[in-house]
Structure 1
Amino acid sequence: MTTFPGSARVEMVMGMPVSVDIRTALPERELTPVLDDAFAWLRWVDDTFNPAKEDSQVGRLSRGQTIRQIPELIEVLHRCDELSEATNGWFESRINGVIDPSGYIKGWALERLSRALCNAGAVDHRISAGGDIRVRGSAMPGKPWRVTVRDPRTGVVRAVVHAHDMGIATSGRRPIVNPRTGKVQVGLGSVTVVGPDLGVADAYATALYAMGAVLARRFAADLAASGPYETMIVTRDGQETTTPGFTRHTGAATRLAV
């Protein structure tokens, strides 16, 4: 079977293993600096946006301290505000005076990295970090990427997504706060959102998880009816429902009951 030569690397960034798998046939002298730059970007994102880091720009902003004029910071905060409005406040990057864009920033960072890899000529790639995955191009000549979506609590395979260009975001691996109550949401097992922009899919998955099962089903149906983002919702007892468009990428037959 013909395969792409490419190169892959895994490093710990943002407190988790992050993998960048490039399948485009580029010479090693080009692939090595591309991968170096990829992980340098991800480390910069973590240093800038991680609220747990005392000297991060987000942490300093929460404490009212002086920050550097960084275009990316303005972009992220503005986009978080837009996503809060789009989800009726269920996605919220400001809770109790603390700025925490973690429900968006990982997906945003991987989406930006994916575009940068394309610009560098590495058009066939898969980037994975926790529950966020961005694929472009082909895994093998003419073949789409095959992305396994697992239940973050049990490890059970819930879906296999086939795609040449897609963001796949799954929430449920880490605690998610209900912004209306300030308490950790416990009603769902996981929420997976697929669509063209991984940052947006990440934020939607976070918001849907925070909503709980009933509201999440309704919002997911409305989201699918109005745009390209499709959803799979898994409850704590293992019941699985999807929007109709989700099955176009998996071949599954389950439909969302509204």
Structure 2
Amino acid sequence: MSDTATGLRHVEHVMGTVFSFDIRDRPTPAIRRALAEAVRHLHRIDAMFSTYRSDSHISRLDHDEIRLEDCPPEVHEVLSLCAQAAHTSDGWFSVIPAGTLDPSGLVKGWATEAASQLLHDAGAHHTCVNGGGDLQLRGRAAPDTAWRVGIAHPLRPGELATVITADHDLAVATSGTAERGHHIVDPHTGRPADTFASLTLVGPRLTLTDTYATAAFARGDGAQDWVETLDGYEAFAVLPDGREWRTPGFIHYGA
């Protein structure tokens, strides 16, 4: 945790990735306590949902070692949200993508949004919480300065594909192959989804923005039409051959 001239910053390694907190409000004692609680929250969620830990609730549930009613409320909430996302996406989002119970496609965004909410409730209204590259933005970077988020180009290392500008609460989530390869699978065939090099979604809150980005990436050719049916969401995509497309409303956020 470090104070700066403009607020408070912290980096935490958890959930197999890096979370960063950029708080632009004056760091009051309440905000400091909320930041510490947000970090503890992330570690609790990791203990519940890690598919790499045999003692996590989600692993034990998958192996029939416990029942759903034995799990904490957070597990019920996440699985309910996953069911809603599966319905909204016509099954293109799935918690059983490879034959095992894995809600990871929703958990990281949900945990990041919850951490952001803890800060907001404590009086931090101008924040960026970054969960492994997916962001929940609130307020502004400075009184007269919008947040600016660079989206890495998946085919040109070191270059940006676009820059998203936000002067109000906004979530930004990118699914792609640049860092983790073809890790998103088509839930209907079990094969890696390969229509896109990357797909970025913007929306009001990160839980569904991140989830819908995964679903759109898996959906492939029908993704643009589907995103355009979602109220409050816009998308930007880069195809493997370098071509790009944007939904009509994306012009309000990115180049």
- The answer, yes or no, to whether TM exceeds 0.5 is yes
After TM superposition, the structure 1 = structure 2 runs for residues 103-122 of structure 1, keeping only pairs within 5 Å, are 103-122=105-124
For residue 119 of structure 1, report the CA deviation from its aligned partner: 0.4
CA distance, structure 1, for counterparts of residue 97 and residue 122 of structure 2: 38
Secondary structure of the residue aligned to 2:188 is coil
Moved more, 179-188 or 152-161: 152-161
Instruction: Select the residue among 167, 184, 190 that pairs with 2:198.
Output: 190
Normalising by structure 2, what TM-score?
A: 0.90
Secondary structure of the residue aligned to 2:211 is helix
After TM superposition, the structure 1 = structure 2 runs for residues 1-258 of structure 1, keeping only pairs within 5 Å, are 5-27=6-28, 29-66=29-66, 68-152=70-154, 154-155=156-157, 156-163=159-166, 164-172=168-176, 173-174=179-180, 175-212=183-220, 214-223=221-230, 227-250=231-254, 252=255
Q: For residues 192-242 of structure 1, what are the alpha-carbon distances to aligned partners after superposition, in whole Å with 9 as ceiling and x for unaligned?
A: 110011110111110111122x2222222333xxx0011111111111101
For residue 26 of structure 1, report the CA deviation from its aligned partner: 2.5
Secondary structure of the residue aligned to 1:167 is strand
Moved more, 63-72 or 109-118: 63-72
Normalising by structure 1, what TM-score?
A: 0.89
Secondary structure of the residue aligned to 2:229 is helix
Change (3 A) 1:70 1:152: farther
For residue 97 of structure 1, report the CA deviation from its aligned partner: 4.2
* Percent identity over paired residues: 39
For residue 130 of structure 1, report the CA deviation from its aligned partner: 2.0
| Structure 2 letter corresponding to 1:162 | T
Question: Which consecutive segments of 4 or more residues in structure 1 shift more than 3 A?
Answer: 29-32, 152-155
For structure 1, the 5+ residue unaligned runs are 253-258
For residue 95 of structure 1, report the CA deviation from its aligned partner: 3.4
- Taking only aligned residues, the RMSD between alpha carbons, in angstroms, comes to 1.7
CA distance, structure 2, for counterparts of residue 33 and residue 118 of structure 1: 12
CA distance, structure 1, for counterparts of residue 109 and residue 229 of structure 2: 22
CA distance, structure 1, for counterparts of residue 7 and residue 98 of structure 2: 46
For residue 116 of structure 1, report the CA deviation from its aligned partner: 1.1
CA distance, structure 2, for counterparts of residue 61 and residue 153 of structure 1: 39
For residue 98 of structure 1, report the CA deviation from its aligned partner: 1.3
CA distance, structure 1, for counterparts of residue 218 and residue 97 of structure 2: 13
For structure 2, the 5+ residue unaligned runs are none
